[in-house]
Structure 1
Amino acid sequence: MKSSAPALSRHLNHLDHPTCIAIGVTLLMASLAQAQTPPEVPEPEGGALAPVVITGSGSADQRWRGSATVDVVDGSELRSGQLQINLSEGLARVPGLVIRNRENYAQDLQVSIRGFGARSTFGVRGVRLFVDGIPASAPDGSGQAANFPLGSADRIEVVRGPFSALYGASSGGAILLYTEDGGRPGELRAGVAAGANGLWRFSTQATGQTGTAETPGWSYALDVGKFATDGARPQSAAHRSTANARLSRAHEGGRTTLVFNRQSAFALDPQGLSRTQWDTDPEQTAIQPLQYNTRKSVSQTQAGLAWDQALGNGHKVELMGYAGQRRVIQFQSIPPVNQIGVAGSSGGVIDLDRDYWGFNARWRLQREWQGGELDLSAGLAGDRQTDLRRGYENFVGTPPNRTLGVLGTLRRDETNRATTLDPYVRASWQRQAWTFEGGLRHVNARYVSSDAFLSNGDQSGGVRFSGYLPVVGARWQLWPQLQAFASVGRGLETPTLNEAAYSVGGAAGLNTALNASRSTSAEVGLRGRNAAGLWNATVFDIRTRDEIVSAGTVDGRASFTNGGSTTRQGLELSAEYGVGNVTVSSAYTYLRARYGSGTASIPAGNRMPGLPEQQLFAQLAWSPAFASRVGGVFTVDARHTGRVFVNDLNSDAAAGHTLFSIGARFEQTTGAWTWREFVRIDNLTDKKHAGSVIVNDGNSRFFEPGLGRSLSAGIELTRRF
């Protein structure tokens, strides 16, 4: 970290004036917070499925006493005054996290943490996702956030920094959602919301507990919802249905938890716009998606079981297993000329059947040792996915009687498997003033492809990735309300099966020359808390070699290669401070992400695409006395996103922008009934902006327009029983 500090300091000297003001406000809030009295710490919540390795927990005290960087967003914050459709709605207050709604439900959200995951053109990669301890990321590192049950979320934890590597390969960060547990009294909620472009959402949740207060039975939490939208542009309509259930029951010395999740979705795909199209009319859709009727349908079902049991003398065993099935059919806009007579072409229709399962078995010891609290664990985590992948031409017939956007001739038929089997250990020792912790995980990943479409030759093959991921950290309590922390560790990012599917130049068969990228990450910071608020300031430095980068697209086949070294250096500030009936929240991120050693295609010093150098969120919430009878809270939000380059060559960029939103929410309680209402206006000034970019798009259609001024409103009714 010493070598990065002067460089970071030089770059901070060039920050613009509004940004310096934002940093100053954040630090002022921190200093005000420092003078207050520490709050009472809530007790830990139990019953969650065990994640692969615990670096945070539901206990605020454990997060305060740990050396990992973990931000927690409460479930009520995620839902309050929001549409409750996208994960991006409630996580803007987390520094270091870039999460954008593409306004394209065929491609999921764009998510990156400290630069990891930014290259993804669809879905989430480089960032691990978990719901109640069950991975929402496949063993190859690809994942989806669409099945996160926001309506029943108890909290979301966002893990950043070196300790995220303990979640396995391709975990430059981790996002963990825990659903609420049923209890007494029970609750039944039903809500409806509506927004611009024909958007609507209906959801209902039920929580409770069987048995009696003296002899409780199963705790349950059920969540069912559906949403639909006509879309902001032509060819962008979508609808999605979800169901999530959780059952848990305590037994002597332990707990059993079961979870079930079902999702089905359909979305048209408007794709991106070229620079000319974007400048002419950002609300248009290019001709190709309309010609080919680009679209995607998804269905996914999964279930999990967790069981833990205390063995005495501080020993405990924790077991978790899960299994699921995912089906995807996607029609792309690849022209027939790029398929007809092209050896190795996989066509323009993706037909994927995925079966997956996994487990985590862990022994844990918690006891007092040498005047402190020792937490020692060791375990084995394994995951496996089997993809039956078929590709078809997206046309039938010959000109002039050719029909586009339909299922045509089979062009790909193979089975892809990704398997991981990772042993790990973790230890933490805490005293009042100090915490020392560390861990080690050995990543073992294997990809195998078995080709059943042999007319183009046998493209079967296999590749392995492995590596040790050590991490150590420490926390030092400087004063009762102030502490310093630091950590350092190594990470490993494997290519996804999609990224390894083609060799450079588009040749079919696994790209055995593509290596995993390896990184060394370090961070140091200060954090404080009090009865009025909390704050955090962190500086980080990440050095990566063999960064995975685009090698171009040939006839619709994208290939990847290793692009030398990269550096990511940054600063994260966040604070929340309340006085009287006003609460101010802010989060600021500065990220300098550059390619180091240049390659034939990427000059050294180029900025990594998909990443704003600066990002700021600020919110003021006001609860005036005149609205106290209806529980009124009024909010003003500001979100600034800096310029974002669209490709490795830095040949074009989406301009930076600042968006303002205003909202109001109300709550009234009468006996066992509670009503909640909200109304908000996003992008108050109707700012033209790119909501996200499609990084390194082979057709140079990089730009995905964000929403203009839009109104949304909703109402929810809760009944306790």
Structure 2
Amino acid sequence: MFSAAGMAMIVGALMAPPLRADTPVVLPAVRVNAVRLDVPPFDLPASFSVVTVNAADAGKPGVNLSEALVGVPGVLARDRQNYAQDEQVSIRGFGARATFGVRGVRMFADGIPATMPDGQGQLSHFSLDAAERVEVLRGPFSALYGNSSGGVVQLWSADGSTPAQTRIGLYAGGDNSYRLGASTRGMAGALDYNLALSHYQTDGYRRHSRAQRESGNAKLGFDLGDGRRLSLVLNTLALPGAQDPLGLTRAEYHRDPRQATAVADSFNTRKSVHQTQAGAVYEQSFHATEQLRVMGYYGQRGVQQVLSIPVSAQRNPLSAGGVVDLASDYCGLDARWTHRGEWLGQPLEWVLGGSYDAQNQRRRGFENFIGNTLGVTGRLRRDEDDRVWNLDQYTQLYWHFANQWSLLAGLRHSEVHFSVRDDYVATTNPDDSGRVRYAATTPVLGLQYRPTEQWRIYASLGGGFETPTFNELGYRADGGAGLAFNLRSSRSRNGEFGAKWELGRDWAWDAALFRADTRNELAVASNFGGRSSYRNVGQSRRQGVETSLRGELGDGWRLALGLTHLQASFRSAFRTCVSSGCTVPDTWVHAGARIPGVPSNYGSLRLERGAAMGWRYGAEINGVSAVSVDDINSSRAAGYALLGLDAGYGMSLSTTTRLHLSARIDNLFDHRYIGSVIVNESNRRYYEPGPGRRLMLGAQLDF
């Protein structure tokens, strides 16, 4: 269990040699974009983490975002070993119930939204080859990003630099996995550039989990003079035919954690994704006090997925079949004006802006059989045009109104519009067209006190809201035709009290107590025949404490530690379906039941020593306590603590060329564990096993 073994290992690690005064080390300074204001992270009345990305230093292949989040509290990124479904990302319990992709948490890449207007997002196109840092914002101020903002994760690519730098890396490891990545950064006159390409493929830890992924990312910056700058961001993603092994029952997991569910083979469950996206950011400064920023983007995304829905279930005339075909185009615009000045003789900065985002999606469904042949595209069963768009206005203000006091406030008004035009209408399948609108105004207020130059104490309060996604609107809970336009948006009241401490730039510590009370929480009403329906179930609460510590231990040792204790529970009793085939909720979920997929304790630690040249080595611990698998808390996936070790050696091949060799072992003790759970899976196939001991070798050439 994490609460015993994992904590013991972390405490033991903290007993390393203390900081030596004769070894001064400066932590890197970065420009951040947490709340769209030019405020240092230390002076924000909010929980905010910045992580510099250089995964190669730890011998990591740069495949999953979770590799970069070691030591960040509050956020939990779980590699599902299933590239057909993407990583699970949750922040303080928000987003934990997502069965695929990311929802409940806003995702951005270089300022371009990776979350659609309905709150459903993905991060498979995030490029760690191009990345400079990851920013994670938690707590009330996340609401300033609009719908479905239980937290915010932003990945930022590095700007081009001089002299130019090119990097080629090759990583290979267990399960026939390998990754080849190449990137180049530089400047040419007024142009700076950062280009990255990568190829990854694996046979997968489990059977029927083979995947291949190609991605490209380009960031181009143009200095137009007179305080003007234009940045272009282009990226592509190809994920052809990623196999989906599905979850396992508890008995299947104990018998063989590497197996795939039988129906995964029968229907050859798989998913293909192709995405291209382009964005532009124009910034112009007017003197030293005014700035205009305009961002626009456009993208196309195609998804084809073969599901394991039984043939018998598709006899229902309202069935959408077992093959999903989505063709989406999406776009958006964000414009804001920033003013910096004084009010009553004290520094003041404010932002006024608005944003528009839209997604148009052609959704078709087909039977996943032809005659007795399974796993193929059969007859058309669904054909509709889905559209969702939002129009938001926001304002933020930061005022350092006294020597030791500052105020951060914000207000956002959001409107989210859903509409459906049904083009598949038959005698037994009536017209499902319709529309619904959600709106909310979310205020946020934070106050910070500075008792000394090294200490900050703050408190913040705010509201938040979360609409259903198109996937949750897809089916009515009563089993009838049409979409579930009766679902209401969830509304939250969020608060936190925190403290931050910095000793020079060698050490940084922060801690926060937090609580989020939600009404109209969304939960599963029933799963029947491949149709998952949802309902509003009353109130819930997510509360806890988190802390992080980063710094230099002396003699070249560095530490990054993040711990979170979280209590997430339903505050209202409600009924749900448990048995397969249930259409009318008949089982009580009692008030006080834990929200599934949310651990009570989780954390990560990294200890490392060394520099870019010569020897470098480190150790990582990742721990998660047990999680419930469904709303009635009928079973739990056991907690775990995993240890990984890595070593590397950097050498100069010439004055401009360096070679870095690395070796990494994850899950050193070959512990059997559940890496993630599929919440409320109707066939009780909740469990997605994590891999055993795994070796990864790497070589990276910089020139």
- Which of 363, 367, 388 pairs up with 2:337? 363
User: What is aligned with 1:574?
Assistant: 548
Shift of 1:65: 1.3
In 2, distance between residues paired with 1:79 and 1:129?
Answer: 25
Shift of 1:545: 0.6
- Which of 590, 595, 617 pairs up with 1:608? 595
Q: Deviations over 1:194-218 (max 9, x none)?
A: 111010000110111112xxxxx21
- Give yes or no for the alignment of 1:533 onto 2:507: yes
In 2, distance between residues paired with 1:569 and 1:302?
Answer: 37
In 2, distance between residues paired with 1:558 and 1:34?
Answer: 58
Greater mean deviation of Cα atoms: 254-263 or 365-374: 365-374
In 1, distance between residues paired with 2:515 and 2:127?
Answer: 33
Shift of 1:363: 1.1
Q: Deviations over 1:379-432 (max 9, x none)?
A: 1101000010000000001xxxx1000000000000001110001111011365
User: What is aligned with 1:83?
Assistant: 61
Q: Deviations over 1:475-500 (max 9, x none)?
A: 21122211112211000011110111
Number of aligned pairs?
683
Cα distance, 1:27–1:631 mapped onto 2, change above 3 Å:
closer
User: What is aligned with 1:649?
Assistant: 632
- Which of 278, 290, 297 pairs up with 1:303? 278
Greater mean deviation of Cα atoms: 466-475 or 21-30: 21-30
- Give yes or no for the alignment of 1:106 onto 2:84: yes
SS in 1 for 2:470: coil
List aligned pairs for 1:137-176, cutoff 5 A. Answer: 137-176=115-154
In 2, distance between residues paired with 1:449 and 1:35?
Answer: 65
- Aligned identity (percent) is 40
Shift of 1:619: 2.2
In 2, distance between residues paired with 1:568 and 1:43?
Answer: 33
Amino acid in structure 1 at the alignment position of 2:420: S
| Contact 2:126-2:155 at 8 Å conserved across structures | yes
- Which of 297, 310, 319 pairs up with 1:335? 310
User: What is aligned with 2:415?
Assistant: 444
- Which of 345, 350, 353 pairs up with 2:324? 350
Q: Deviations over 1:583-622 (max 9, x none)?
A: 2221111000011011123211110000110112122213
Shift of 1:127: 0.4
Shift of 1:448: 0.3
- Which of 597, 620, 633 pairs up with 1:637? 620
User: What is aligned with 2:645?
Assistant: 662
- Give yes or no for the alignment of 1:406 onto 2:376: yes
User: What is aligned with 1:8?
Assistant: none
In 2, distance between residues paired with 1:553 and 1:33?
Answer: 55
List aligned pairs for 1:254-269, cutoff 5 A. Answer: 254-266=228-240, 267-269=242-244
User: What is aligned with 2:583?
Assistant: none
Cα distance, 1:158–1:307 mapped onto 2, change above 3 Å:
same
Shift of 1:310: 1.7
Cα distance, 1:378–1:35 mapped onto 2, change above 3 Å:
farther
User: Normalized against structure 2, the TM-score is what?
Assistant: 0.93
User: What is aligned with 1:699?
Assistant: 683
Greater mean deviation of Cα atoms: 508-517 or 101-110: 508-517
- Which of 674, 677, 693 pairs up with 1:709? 693
In 1, distance between residues paired with 2:105 and 2:603?
Answer: 21
Greater mean deviation of Cα atoms: 609-618 or 307-316: 307-316
In 1, distance between residues paired with 2:66 and 2:291?
Answer: 37
Shift of 1:510: 1.7
Shift of 1:367: 2.0
List aligned pairs for 1:519-530, cutoff 5 A. Answer: 519-530=492-503
| Contact 1:29-1:577 at 8 Å conserved across structures | no
SS in 2 for 1:454: coil
| Contact 1:324-1:356 at 8 Å conserved across structures | yes
Amino acid in structure 1 at the alignment position of 2:666: D
SS in 1 for 2:396: strand
Cα distance, 1:680–1:540 mapped onto 2, change above 3 Å:
same
Cα distance, 1:140–1:29 mapped onto 2, change above 3 Å:
farther
User: What is aligned with 2:392?
Assistant: 422
Amino acid in structure 2 at the alignment position of 1:225: S
- Which of 527, 536, 542 pairs up with 1:562? 536
In 1, distance between residues paired with 2:612 and 2:337?
Answer: 52
Shift of 1:75: 1.7
SS in 1 for 2:54: helix
- Which of 525, 531, 537 pairs up with 1:551? 525
SS in 1 for 2:204: coil
User: What is aligned with 2:173?
Assistant: 195
Cα distance, 1:108–1:684 mapped onto 2, change above 3 Å:
same
Greater mean deviation of Cα atoms: 35-44 or 608-617: 35-44
Shift of 1:24: 6.8
In 1, distance between residues paired with 2:607 and 2:206?
Answer: 32
In 1, distance between residues paired with 2:607 and 2:612?
Answer: 21
Shift of 1:44: 5.6
Cα distance, 1:608–1:668 mapped onto 2, change above 3 Å:
same
Q: Deviations over 1:323-344 (max 9, x none)?
A: 000000000010110002x121
Shift of 1:16: 5.1
Structure 2: tracts of 5 or more residues without a match = 577-588
Amino acid in structure 2 at the alignment position of 1:614: N
User: What is aligned with 1:686?
Assistant: 670
Alpha-carbon RMSD across the aligned residues, in angstroms, is 2.4
Q: Deviations over 1:36-88 (max 9, x none)?
A: 99987866649xxxx7xx4277x8x7101111211011022576421100111
User: What is aligned with 1:718?
Assistant: 702
User: What is aligned with 1:55?
Assistant: 35
- Give yes or no for the alignment of 1:382 onto 2:356: yes
Shift of 1:552: 1.4
- Which of 417, 420, 433 pairs up with 2:404? 433
SS in 2 for 1:339: helix
In 2, distance between residues paired with 1:526 and 1:514?
Answer: 38
SS in 1 for 2:266: helix
| Contact 2:45-2:446 at 8 Å conserved across structures | yes
Amino acid in structure 2 at the alignment position of 1:91: L
Shift of 1:237: 0.1
Cα distance, 1:44–1:294 mapped onto 2, change above 3 Å:
closer
Cα distance, 1:444–1:39 mapped onto 2, change above 3 Å:
farther
User: What is aligned with 2:245?
Assistant: 270
- Which of 427, 433, 447 pairs up with 1:474? 447
Greater mean deviation of Cα atoms: 659-668 or 130-139: 659-668
List aligned pairs for 1:509-524, cutoff 5 A. Answer: 509-524=482-497
User: What is aligned with 1:5?
Assistant: none
Amino acid in structure 1 at the alignment position of 2:493: T
Cα distance, 1:36–1:426 mapped onto 2, change above 3 Å:
farther
User: What is aligned with 1:320?
Assistant: 295
In 2, distance between residues paired with 1:678 and 1:37?
Answer: 26
User: What is aligned with 2:605?
Assistant: 618
SS in 2 for 1:223: strand
| Contact 1:79-1:90 at 8 Å conserved across structures | no
SS in 2 for 1:573: strand
Structure 1: tracts of 5 or more residues without a match = 1-13, 212-216
Q: Deviations over 1:287-324 (max 9, x none)?
A: 10000000000000010111111233612211110000
SS in 2 for 1:151: coil
- Which of 468, 486, 500 pairs up with 1:495? 468
Shift of 1:148: 0.5
| Contact 1:38-1:529 at 8 Å conserved across structures | no
Cα distance, 1:685–1:40 mapped onto 2, change above 3 Å:
closer
Q: Deviations over 1:625-673 (max 9, x none)?
A: xxx8952121122221100111101111101111111111222233111
Amino acid in structure 1 at the alignment position of 2:461: V
